[in-house]
Amino acid sequence: MRRAGIPVAILAILIVAGVLSGCAHGRMSGEVAVPSGVQLHYTDEGRGEPVILVHGFAVDSELNWRALGISGALAKHYRVITFDVRGHGKSDKPHDPAQYGLELVEDVVRIMDHLGLPKAHVAGYSLGGFITLKLMMLHPDRLLSAAPCAAGWERREGEHMRMLSEAADRLEAGEGFKMILRELDPKDTPWAAVRILVVDACLRYLNDTHAMAAAVRSLAALEVTETELRANRVPALTIVGSEDALKKGVDDMTGILANHEVVVIPNANHHSAIKRREFVNALKQFLDAH
């Protein structure tokens, strides 16, 4: 039997080839079991050089990267891997602070090992930025490039680090995320207060607050030293909003972190910078160059 001059057998082969081609470019998801029994949920899509995206605190990979169109835009040119950081999303949520800290960094390497990736580009935002920065110091040989965005050089004795212990206490006491949100958006206006209440309610609904508290208590382990920053050999990009409360850490790092460039998005804060078209454009331009 023939259809429009094409044998049915050949037509079937073409259809199967098209389906397989679509699968090759499609989005797949899976789980990785890491030491101590924690399971991490990840997604994998696109073709090309691998790019691993590490999301921020109290959100997940869907909210941080897919909902904003970033992972989809990059997947047109790269193989894009996203995963839910332990304590978040569809990954396991231990309540022991010892399960976080440097484990957050090693999880990126574990994802790479699971997928058979000797090297990858890694980009992170907020908490993901601090994870990426520490990853640069511990595993530079696994990185093609790194983009620690909306994150900078925070000392263990610094103001933000000292605030984290109280923030963890408040999370465990059932007071939610309001203190952290005020630190990141310190403007004292009625609208800011309403926004914090709404976002806090959403984050309480989405998260296990005891897991969040455990993660917060561990973050001093992500501290990097001036010696490490100066010795960096990984091409690095930081994208940060001009109004971001964490921009001071980026400023402190500038000129000390070797092989580093900075893109500042005007009139953007910690929450809005990643939503701006300039963010994905700058990230893609950096990846293309490396």
Question: Domain 31-289 belongs to what topology?
Answer: Rossmann fold (3.40.50)
Give the span between the Cα atoms of 134 and 109, in whole angstroms. 12
B/e letters for 225-253, b = 16+ CB within 10 Å, e = fewer, are: eeebbeebebbbbbbbbebbbbbebbebb
Cα distances from 111 to residues 31, 69, 81, 127, 244, in angstroms, run 9, 22, 9, 17, 30
For the purposes of burial, counting CB atoms within 10 Å of the CB of 180, is it exposed (0-12), middle (13-18) or buried (19 or more)? buried
Per-residue confidence (pLDDT) for residue 159, from 0 to 100: 74
Task: Count how many Cα atoms sit within 13 Å of the Cα of residue 272 in the half-sphere of its side chain.
Answer: 12
Taking the CA atoms of residue 155, residue 282, residue 242 and residue 130 in that order, the dihedral angle to the nearest 10 degrees is -20
Residues in the chain predicted with pLDDT less than 50, given as ranges, are 1-25
pLDDT per residue over 98-143, tens digit each?
999 999 999 999 999 999 999 999 999 999 999 999 999 999 999 9
Domain boundaries, the chain: 31-289
Identify the burial level of 219 via C-beta atoms within 10 angstroms of its C-beta, where 0-12 means exposed, 13-18 middle and 19 or more buried: buried
pLDDT at position 8: 41
Structure-token match 């209440």, residue found:
197
pLDDT attached to residue 155: 83
> What pLDDT, in 10s, does the model give residues 257-283?
999 999 999 999 999 999 999 999 999
Beta bridge partners of 20: none
The whole-model pTM stands at 0.90
